Chain A
Amino acid sequence: MPSTLVIGGGPAGLAAAWAAVQTGDTVTLLDDNPALGGQIWRGEIPSRYRRFLDPRVTVRTGVQIHSAAQLPSADRIILATGTRERFLPFPGWTLPHVLGAGGLQAMVKSGLPIAGKRVVVAGSGPLLLAVAAYLRKRGAKVLLVAEQAPYARVAAFTRSLWRQPGKLLQAAQLGLGLRYRTDSWPLRAAPGSVTLQGHGVLPCDYLACGFGLVTNTELPELLGCKVESGAVITDSKQRTTVPHIYFAGAGSVDRSILEGQIAGFDLERARALYPARDAAVRFDRLLDETFQLRSELNTLATPETIICRCEDVPFSAVWQQRDWRSAKLQTRCGMGPCQGRICGPALEHLCGWPAASVRPPIFPTRLENLLDLRE
């Protein structure tokens, strides 16, 4: 039997594993997290997608991949490594009450009580509304959702949703009763508060803040897949530029599930899903245009603002560097345990530097693990 290895157990990875099993493959799925479902579901997989948890799939959770040598051999690899939030530095963004928007949601889903806490959700994109709605359901006092995008863009986007009633309903349900404000973003945070553009100081227990999503391209890049402007290059069947390696799942849940199935299925069944996938990709492009980050966000960091949280490198040390490489060599920016995963996407925005290349191990690891690999 041909074998398929799936990396990542979010919507795309689960859909891919399920589809691959339907074609008769032996399937192994690896995930870094303690439970399946990725960041969006986190173990709470909606009932209509439970079929993806096929008992024929061998699942291993809590597995961190550092290098290619660690991967079990397979005839086909489907990478579904997902996305992470983009964070933009502003004074106070390193304080302990400032978390990612998805970050705070993940914490609450994994046992942090939020009832009665005052939360400001800020940044950009539809995730803010989803997070705010979730936190409110769990009893948080969501004081405000501050969206940096201009009112005109968000309004035009909302009007365009009339053509997709399902999505409009979803948006309306999420937004119901939330205080949503466009043209607003965090200027600075202080212990117990945040100052927002156009709004002033708002005392809060948590600031949940994210500026859109960035694809986790580290593992695809390590395996030699071509990556351009932060996206893994794929063909219509989700094949990357490396033979037998597929990539699925960037963007919305709907799109991720379709891409996962297309990657996992045989060509005939995959083709039937192309039109739906292409429509989902077009919708994501519309989202990208709507929630494009405004240039004012690049002026929030002061010379003292820390850019690299691992090595505490201030903006003043970074801005005179020519590029990423020189920033790394001269300032240690991006050289800490997160390996530039947080400051990289920020600097891409602040300084226009494309992401640096990756090399193994793509996550910090113990020497004993490296010795085990016997490379």
Chain B
Amino acid sequence: MIAVLINGRRIDVEPGTTVAAAVMRLQAGFRRSVTGELRGPLCGMGICMECRVTLNGRPHERSCQLLCAPGMEISTDA
């Protein structure tokens, strides 16, 4: 199992789990849109950008295209 932190909460996931899937296991929404709506992944393939997160301090990373790695810190506030 791989342990990652999502908004400060620890979650253990199977290897091969994407960051997007890990976030969806914990909560329904990801980022807030420019007018404040809660959004989640739409395309699941790196195109719509709705699932972007801040990953280890780097903003706007597409969470559906990244695999969880031990110790990753993810903030859905991207």
A residues apposed to B, CB below 8 Å: 32-34, 39, 43, 62, 64, 84-85, 87, 94-100, 102-108, 110-113, 216, 306, 309-312, 336-338, 341-342, 364
Contact = CB atoms under 8 A, between A and B. Distances in A.
B24 A112 contact: yes
Interface in B61-78: 64-68
B55 to A, nearest CB: 13
A100 B21 contact: no
A278 to B, nearest CB: 29
Nearest to B33: A312
Contacts of B49: 310, 336-338, 364
Interface of chain B, main secondary structure: loop
Interface centre among A32, A96, A312, A341 (most CB of B within 10 A): A96
Contacts of B67: 34
Contact of A111 (B17, B29, B50): B17
Nearest to B78: A337
A309 B50 contact: yes
A342 to B, nearest CB: 5
A100 B64 CA distance: 13
Nearest to A339: B49
A216 B18 CA distance: 23
Contact of B48 (A64, A95, A338): A338
A112 B25 contact: yes
Given A34-B66, A99-B42, 13 more contacts: A84-B43, A102-B45, A110-B20, A110-B64, A111-B18, A111-B68, A310-B49, A312-B33, A312-B35, A337-B49, A337-B60, A338-B48, A364-B60
A95 B33 CA distance: 11
Interface string B40-64: 1111111111101000000010001
Nearest to B15: A111
Given A110-B17, A110-B64, A111-B14, A341 B45 contact: no
B10 interface: no
Contacts of B68: 111
17 contacts: A33-B65, A34-B18, A62-B65, A84-B43, A87-B42, A94-B39, A99-B44, A102-B44, A103-B43, A110-B18, A110-B44, A110-B64, A112-B25, A216-B47, A309-B33, A342-B43, A342-B48
A87 B43 CA distance: 9
A310 B39 CA distance: 10
A1 B14 CA distance: 42
Interface of chain A, main secondary structure: loop
Contact of A342 (B33, B41, B42, B44): B42
Contacts of B14: 111
A102 B64 CA distance: 13
A133 B68 CA distance: 27
Given A87-B42, A111-B13, A337-B49, A94 B37 contact: yes
Contacts of A87: 42
Given A84-B43, A337-B49, A342-B43, A107 B34 contact: no
A94 B16 contact: no
B33 A99 contact: no
Contacts of A98: 42
Interface in B1-33: 13-14, 16-18, 20-22, 24-25, 28-30, 33
A24 B48 CA distance: 38
Contacts of A94: 33, 37, 39
B60 to A, nearest CB: 7
Contact of A113 (B25, B38, B43, B44): B25
A111 B67 CA distance: 10
B47 A84 contact: yes
Nearest to B37: A94
B28 A309 contact: no
A22 B34 CA distance: 50
A106 B64 contact: yes
Nearest to B45: A39
B44 A100 contact: yes
B41 A110 contact: no
A94 B37 CA distance: 8
A85 B24 contact: no
Contacts of B48: 309, 338, 341-342
